[in-house]
Each structure stands twice: as structure tokens, then as C-alpha cells.
């Protein structure tokens, strides 16, 4: 677009642009205080030289403001049975997860069924009585107060969903009431009324958290509409108040897809923001407009993209945000997630508050322990764990295969996967807690069949997928049972670790060579793991006689502890017991059983402390072919809460101290 200025006269086109923007501003549904600012910007804009850089920046800014869904919302479909049906149809198992989600929705539904209670505060009797009469007829539960003092007393005694108050009153005024409500009931909406239709007090009221502003003389329809909006707004925020759902678990366990189903069940739009590796606060909260190329942050941008102010917004990998010199992304997130503050979230680019209280935030994390504490405090953690082989097989049969058949265009002659073929894919072509690769492998097979049909190499008949057909399409197996196929050795003990992709097995190797008692540690061990190794060595040295090791042996050797797969960083205290066993095996020269895996933190006195991720570790042990898993006695509660069939195929032994398990591992 090009503009010309002749004799300082503003070109016709520009006038049209300005008028169009003015119209868009008034139709955008922005709250009055934002409209005020937008109009001021428009005023500045109208005086700018079209060839200046500022002109384009301001134009983009105003267009961005008017494009936001300020008051556009979808209405919630609060039907618990429907939600349950959607979750069950789309997701296999995950009973605990689904129950927690349904409970969450039930609270919301219960709160929505009550008649909202309204407090009317006005010192003019006529207005008070009028409003009371009209609102009672609308089925609201109405209580009135004739002045601020009485209103404060009532607010002390009871809770109201909506407060409708005059601003200007003798003594205690509307602002004092607003302040009290905000401090006591964060979810109560306050609508302010005043005869002094000064924009200043409206702006002030909204800034301090009022929901809406009505100027006297008002039409009763206007009040009714405002109350209806306040009620709807309250409902859409109920489930986010106080607790934000955090789905925690390894990749591919269904976190994102369940989030999407929740949105569908509620009839809301869905959007996702990946937070992994975000360092710069501006990515969340936007750049100030003074920067060249300034942009709004991802939260506001996603909301704009969905076109509504109340989507389900999934924030992925909240445990992976980093903190560095470019501000603190976590604190920006905190502000977005905090129901006490997010009704006036400030994006630096927008520079005006945007109400995020209607957004239902769901966050996901691989390891919740890594989430910053301030954020964690506001979340209700729902754990997604890895799947057993049986569960994976059922998900493949009921969901993944039908989905891939449809996607690859094989609906008319669907390939028929046998149970053995699916198990072969799970065991020999994937090694994961979730089912992402399983889905990928099934997709590959379906795609190859589709290609052959198209090329004419295959008839349009349903193919039976047997283990042999799997091997034909996917090539030689990629994974082996590391443990079942390995030989027992001296100084090599199997351990279990918990990583962000689920549980995994490790082999701790210990070797000795002539030297002076030095300890060498290799294999990308983190500090905590290094300390565990030192503690394990000290423990074995100081208790050598108990294990039949002569004390002076240690002085003559250097000891090397290595954990293979050196490229993968490893840390955490849970390898302490495994390292100690590797050392005992080494110095007693007894073979260690490969198919026994240990996890547990070791103290210097040989006691074993509980560790995290037990369920994931047991799944990993089963995947690797481990027969016996030894875990700390104090982790018994984790085992007791697991379903019986989960423990099929592995023996679980509890230990209180290292001495308990020597003969279980060493031959």
C-alpha cells in the first residue's frame, strides 16, 4: 500500500483507513479501557507521515489489537456423560487419569447448576429496589445493601457470585467493596455502576479487577446482559481456579491427545504451545513495541489464532523452560497461570491487559520434579505412566491400527494384524515407555502396503500381517532383550534409572587395576551420581569384613567405575545400591546375575532409601527381560498400588540394607 501527501493534506485513502480502524475498534468487543487506548493510538496514527517507520508499526499494532477475540467465547458443553463417552471412545485404559479429569469437570458442572447469588449495593433506594425486582424475576438469588458498610459486613458473612455496586457512595465506596471482594473471593465478578460516567473511574475500576462498568442512567437490558456475561465468564473459569491440570509422564503416553479430547468434550477450541528450551521471556510475553520486529508472545498469539478467549491451551514441556539472562520465562508463565492475576495479563507487545481467566490451561511435563516450585504449587499433577506390553497391544488393535488404516487409504481392504505380529513390533522394533514408535512402525507397514497396491504389485485384498510380514516390511529387528541375552560377569550389575523418556536399565561396571586406591568415574555421570559412587565405595571399604573382603585390598588398587552409553548424561542418587553391589562383586570375585536389577539410594551406613519412578522402572525391567527387581523396602507403597497383572513376569524383592541382597545377586 502506498500513500501520498500533497500540500500537507492527508490523502483520501488514509482517511478511509482511519475510519475503518475506528469502526473495527468499536466492534472489536474490547473493554472500555482498552478501547480508550486504541483510540489514542489511532489519534497518533492519524497524524503520522505514511512514509515513516512508525506509521507501519502503529498500523500493525492497532490491527493486531482489533483482531484479538476480546469477548468471543464458545459456551461450554457441561455434560459429564458425554465427556466420559468421548474419553472412553478415544483412549484405552488410563482409568485413573480419566477419573481425575471427570472429577475436575464435575466440580465445574456442580458450580454451574446453582442459582448465582447477587449482592446489590446502592445508596439510592429506588435503584436498589428496581434492580432487586428485575433480577429476582430472572431467577437470581438477590441480597441488597443500602451502603458500603453494610455491603462489607455481608461480604464477611457470605459468598456472592456477582456484586453489582455503585461507585460513588458516602463513606465506604465502590472501590473499597471491589478491593474486599478481590481479596476474599477471587472468582466473584464485580460490576460497577456510577452516575459519573467519567472514563477515568471506569478505567480505574477495570484496572483494579472489576468485570464490567455501567454508566447511569442505564437500560435494564444492559444490566441483565452484563450479569449474564459475568455468570458465563465465571463458569468458564471455575475449573482453572486454584488448580491447573499438569499431565506428567514419558512421551507418547497420550497426554496431548487427552488434552485435545477434553477440549472436544467441553466444546472448546484447542491450541498447543511447546515450551521446551524457551529461554527468552519475550517468547511468552512478547517484545515491547520499541524493538524492531517486535511480536506478541506465544500465549496471546495462540489465543488470536483460535479466535476465542476461552480455548483449552496446552503448554507442553513446562519442565524444560530455562532461566538465563533474558528475563525469567517461568515468572511470565506464573502470571499467565495465576487466577489471581491472569484476568489482566500484560503482554509487552499489546501493552494493555488481556483477560486470560477464561482459558483452561493444561500443562505437560516429562518429570514433574524438574518444574520450578512456584509453578508446581499451582498445579494438580496427574501422572501418565508407560504402558505394559498387553496395554500397548490393545491400544494398537483398538486405536493405532484403525487410525493408520484410515490414514493410509486402506479402509476397503484393511490389513489384519495378528497378536504375535503386534508383539513382535513392540518387542523387537521399539523400546519405549509410550507408543509413539509403535504407531510409527504400524504406519510404515500400512504405507508400504498402500504403495505396493498402487504400483500394482499387490491385489486389493486384505493382507494378514504375521511376524514374518513384519520382518519383511520393517527389516531386521532393532532391539534385543539386553539382559536375557547377556552373560553374568564379575563387577557388572544391572541397575534401573528413571529418565524423561520413561524408565531404563543401566549396567554399572567396576574394574580394578594395580594402583593406590584412587577412584575413577566415567560414563557422563552427574554430580549426584558421582557422590553416590564415592559413598558406595566408602561403605564397602568400611564394611569389607562383612562381605569377606580383606581391608588392605583397597590400598593396592585403583578402582574404575563406568556406566556405558557414555553419550547419555546420567544422574540421581538411585544407582547407589547398584554401584555398591558392583564393587562387592568385583572384590569378592563372584559373578553378578544380569537378570536381577536393583534401584535404591545407599547411605554410608548401608541403609537403603526410597527412590522415584518405580512403576516406570519396573516397566523398563520387563522390556529388557529382567526376571527379578530389587527395590527399597520403603517403596512398598508404590508396588501395592499397582494392579496385579502389572507385576506378572517379574519377581519383586524389597531390601532395607545392602546385606539383605548380596546372595540374591551374586552367584
Residues assigned a catalytic role: 574, 617
Strand order across the beta sheet in which 312-316 lies: 270-274, 312-316, 360-365, 244-248, 379-383
Residue whose CB is less far from ligand ADP, 30 or 435: 435
Q: Is 254 in the site for ligand ADP (CB under 6 A)?
A: yes
Q: What is the DSSP letter of 277?
A: T
Residue whose CB is less far from ligand ADP, 433 or 602: 433
**Of 88-96, 423-431, 503-511, 573-581: span binding ligand ADP (CB under 6 A):** 88-96
Q: Is 613 in the site for ligand ADP (CB under 6 A)?
A: no
Grid coordinates representing 148 are: 458500603
Of 244, 224, 234, 228, residue with least CA distance to 111: 234
Using CB under 6 A, which of 51, 52, 67, 257 touches ligand ADP? 257
Q: Are 435 and 387 in contact (CB under 8 A)?
A: yes
Least spacing, CB of residue 647 vs ligand ADP, in Å: 20
Torsion of CA 539, 545, 549, 550, to 10 degrees: 110
Q: Is 436 in the site for ligand ADP (CB under 6 A)?
A: yes
Using CB under 6 A, which of 93, 327, 467, 610 touches ligand ADP? 93
Q: Is 253 in the site for ligand ADP (CB under 6 A)?
A: yes
Q: Are 64 and 348 in contact (CB under 8 A)?
A: no
Torsion of CA 335, 341, 345, 346, to 10 degrees: -80
Residue, CB closest to ligand ADP: 254
Q: Is 371 in the site for ligand ADP (CB under 6 A)?
A: no
Residue whose CB is less far from ligand ADP, 432 or 638: 432
Least spacing, CB of residue 208 vs ligand ADP, in Å: 39
Q: Are 379 and 245 in contact (CB under 8 A)?
A: yes
Using CB under 6 A, which of 180, 189, 212, 255 touches ligand ADP? 255
| Chain residues 192-251 in contact with ligand ADP, contact rule CB under 6 A | 251
Least spacing, CB of residue 103 vs ligand ADP, in Å: 19
Residue whose CB is less far from ligand ADP, 94 or 580: 94
Of 589, 591, 577, 563, residue with least CA distance to 487: 591
Q: Is 386 in the site for ligand ADP (CB under 6 A)?
A: no
Measured distance CA(256)–CA(458) in Å, rounded: 37
Residue whose CB is less far from ligand ADP, 91 or 117: 91
Least spacing, CB of residue 396 vs ligand ADP, in Å: 9
| Chain residues 391-420 in contact with ligand ADP, contact rule CB under 6 A | 395, 399
Q: Is 92 in the site for ligand ADP (CB under 6 A)?
A: yes
Residue whose CB is less far from ligand ADP, 226 or 499: 499
Residue in this structure with the C-alpha cell 496431548, named with its chain if needed: 256
Grouping H, G, I as helix, E, B as strand and the rest as coil, residue 599 is: coil
Of 632, 565, 566, 633, residue with least CA distance to 599: 632
Residue in this structure with the C-alpha cell 488404516, named with its chain if needed: 405
Q: What is the DSSP letter of 417?
A: E
Which run of H or E residues covers position 519? strand 519-522
Grouping H, G, I as helix, E, B as strand and the rest as coil, residue 79 is: coil
Using CB under 6 A, which of 439, 601, 616, 638 touches ligand ADP? 439
Using CB under 6 A, which of 256, 370, 437, 488 touches ligand ADP? 256
Q: Is 617 in the site for ligand ADP (CB under 6 A)?
A: no
Q: Is 252 in the site for ligand ADP (CB under 6 A)?
A: yes
Residue whose CB is less far from ligand ADP, 434 or 503: 434
Q: Is 444 in the site for ligand ADP (CB under 6 A)?
A: no
Measured distance CA(572)–CA(612) in Å, rounded: 10
Which long-range CB contacts under 8 A does 298-304 form with residues at least 24 apart? Answer: 298/273, 299/273, 299/336, 299/345, 299/347, 299/356, 300/68, 300/347, 300/349, 300/350, 300/354, 302/271, 302/272, 302/273, 303/68, 303/69, 303/271, 303/354, 303/356, 303/359, 304/64, 304/67, 304/68, 304/69
Least spacing, CB of residue 424 vs ligand ADP, in Å: 19
Residue in this structure with the C-alpha cell 458498610, named with its chain if needed: 149
Q: Please tell me the total number of residues recorded for the chain in this structure.
A: 667
**Of 79-87, 218-226, 254-262, 414-422: span binding ligand ADP (CB under 6 A):** 254-262
Least spacing, CB of residue 500 vs ligand ADP, in Å: 11
Which residues does residue 521 pair with via DSSP β-bridges, in sequence order?
561
Count residues near ligand ADP (CB under 6 A).
17
Q: Are 286 and 329 in contact (CB under 8 A)?
A: no
Using CB under 6 A, which of 59, 94, 278, 626 touches ligand ADP? 94
Q: What ranges in 171-254 are assigned the alpha helix state H? A: 174-184, 199-207, 220-238
Residue whose CB is less far from ligand ADP, 93 or 327: 93
Least spacing, CB of residue 254 vs ligand ADP, in Å: 3
Least spacing, CB of residue 439 vs ligand ADP, in Å: 5
Least spacing, CB of residue 406 vs ligand ADP, in Å: 13
CB atoms within 10 A of CB 515: 13
Q: Is 275 in the site for ligand ADP (CB under 6 A)?
A: no
**Of 226-234, 434-442, 449-457, 632-640: span binding ligand ADP (CB under 6 A):** 434-442
Residues that bind ligand ADP (CB under 6 A): 91-94, 251-257, 395, 399, 434-436, 439
Amino acid at each position: 500500500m502506498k500513500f501520498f501527501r500533497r500540500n500537507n493534506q492527508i490523502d483520501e485513502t488514509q482517511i478511509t483507513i482511519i475510519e475503518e480502524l475506528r469502526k473495527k475498534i468499536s466492534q472489536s468487543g474490547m473493554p472500555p479501557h482498552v478501547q480508550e487506548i486504541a483510540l489514542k493510538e489511532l489519534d497518533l496514527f492519524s497524524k503520522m507521515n505514511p512514509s515513516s517507520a512508525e506509521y507501519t508499526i502503529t498500523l500493525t499494532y492497532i490491527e493486531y489489537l482489533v483482531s484479538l477475540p476480546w469477548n468471543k467465547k464458545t459456551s461450554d458443553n457441561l455434560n459429564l456423560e458425554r465427556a466420559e463417552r468421548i474419553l472412553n471412545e478415544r483412549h484405552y485404559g488410563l482409568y485413573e487419569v480419566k477419573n481425575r479429569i471427570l472429577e475436575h469437570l464435575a466440580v465445574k458442572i456442580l458450580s454451574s447448576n446453582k442459582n448465582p447469588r447477587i449482592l446489590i449495593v446502592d445508596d439510592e433506594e429506588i435503584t436498589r429496589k428496581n434492580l432487586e425486582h428485575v433480577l429476582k424475576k430472572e431467577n437470581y438469588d438477590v441480597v441488597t445493601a443500602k451502603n458500603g458498610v453494610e455491603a462489607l459486613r455481608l461480604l464477611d458473612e457470605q459468598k456472592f457470585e456477582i456484586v453489582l455496586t455503585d461507585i460513588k457512595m458516602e463513606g465506604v465506596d465502590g472501590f473499597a467493596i471491589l478491593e474486599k471482594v478481590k481479596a476474599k473471593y477471587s472468582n466473584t465478578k464485580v460490576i460497577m455502576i456510577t452516575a459519573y460516567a467519567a472514563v477515568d473511574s471506569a478505567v480505574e475500576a477495570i484496572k483494579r479487577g472489576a468485570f464490567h462498568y455501567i454508566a447511569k442512567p442505564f437500560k435494564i437490558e444492559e444490566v441483565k446482559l452484563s450479569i449474564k456475561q459475568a455468570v458465563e465468564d465465571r463458569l468458564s473459569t471455575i475449573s482453572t481456579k486454584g488448580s491447573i491440570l499438569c499431565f506428567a509422564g514419558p512421551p507418547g503416553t497420550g497426554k496431548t491427545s487427552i488434552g485435545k479430547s477434553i477440549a472436544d468434550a467441553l466444546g472448546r477450541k484447542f491450541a498447543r504451545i511447546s515450551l521446551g528450551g524457551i529461554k527468552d521471556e519475550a517468547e511468552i510475553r512478547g517484545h515491547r513495541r520499541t524493538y524492531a520486529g517486535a511480536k506478541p508472545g506465544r500465549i496471546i498469539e495462540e489465543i488470536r489464532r483460535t479466535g476465542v478467549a476461552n480455548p483449552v491451551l496446552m503448554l507442553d514441556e513446562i519442565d524444560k523452560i530455562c532461566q538465563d539472562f533474558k528475563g525469567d520465562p517461568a515468572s511470565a508463565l506464573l502470571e499467565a497461570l495465576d487466577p489471581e492475576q491472569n484476568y489482566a495479563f500484560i503482554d509487552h507487545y499489546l501493552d494493555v491487559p488481556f483477560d486470560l481467566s477464561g482459558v483452561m490451561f493444561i500443562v505437560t511435563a516429562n518429570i514433574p520434579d524438574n518444574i520450578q516450585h512456584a509453578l508446581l504449587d499451582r498445579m494438580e499433577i496427574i501422572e501418565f505412566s508407560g504402558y505394559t506390553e498387553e496395554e500397548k497391544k490393545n491400544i494398537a488393535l483398538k486405536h493405532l491400527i484403525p487410525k493408520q488404516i484410515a490414514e493410509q487409504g486402506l479402509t476397503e481392504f484393511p490389513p489384519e494384524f495378528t497378536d504375535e505380529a503386534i508383539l513382535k513390533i513392540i518387542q523387537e522394533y521399539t523400546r519405549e515407555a509410550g507408543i509413539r514408535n509403535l504407531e510409527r512402525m504400524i504406519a510404515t507397514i500400512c504405507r508400504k502396503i498402500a504403495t505396493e497396491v498402487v504400483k500394482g504389485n499387490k491385489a486389493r485384498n486384505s493382507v494378514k500381517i504375521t511376524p514374518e510380514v513384519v520382518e519383511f516390511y520393517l527389516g531386521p529387528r532393532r532391539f534385543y532383550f539386553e539382559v536375557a541375552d547377556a552373560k553374568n560377569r564379575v563387577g557388572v550389575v544391572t541397575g534401573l534409572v528413571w529418565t524423561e523418556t520413561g524408565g531404563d536399565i543401566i549396567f554399572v561396571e567396576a574394574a580394578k587395576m594395580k594402583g593406590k586406591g584412587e577412584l575413577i568415574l566415567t560414563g557422563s555421570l552427574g554430580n549426584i551420581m558421582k557422590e553416590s559412587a564415592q559413598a558406595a565405595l566408602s561403605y564397602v571399604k568400611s564394611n569389607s569384613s562383612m562381605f569377606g573382603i580383606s581391608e588392605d585390598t583397597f590400598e593396592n588398587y585403583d578402582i574404575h567405575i563406568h556406566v556405558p552409553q557414555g553419550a547419555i548424561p546420567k544422574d540421581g542418587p538411585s544407582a547407589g545400591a547398584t554401584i555398591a553391589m558392583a564393587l562387592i562383586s568385583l572384590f569378592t570375585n563372584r559373578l553378578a546375575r544380569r537378570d536381577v536389577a536393583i534401584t535404591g539410594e545407599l547411605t554410608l551406613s548401608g541403609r537403603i532409601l526410597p527412590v522415584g519412578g518405580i512403576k516406570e522402572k519396573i516397566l523398563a525391567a520387563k522390556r529388557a527381560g529382567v526376571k527379578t527387581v530389587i527395590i527399597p523396602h520403603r517403596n512398598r507403597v508404590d508396588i501395592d498400588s499397582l494392579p496385579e497383572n502389572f507385576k506378572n513376569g517379574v519377581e519383586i524383592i524389597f531390601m532395607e540394607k545392602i546385606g539383605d541382597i548380596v546372595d540374591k545377586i551374586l552367584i
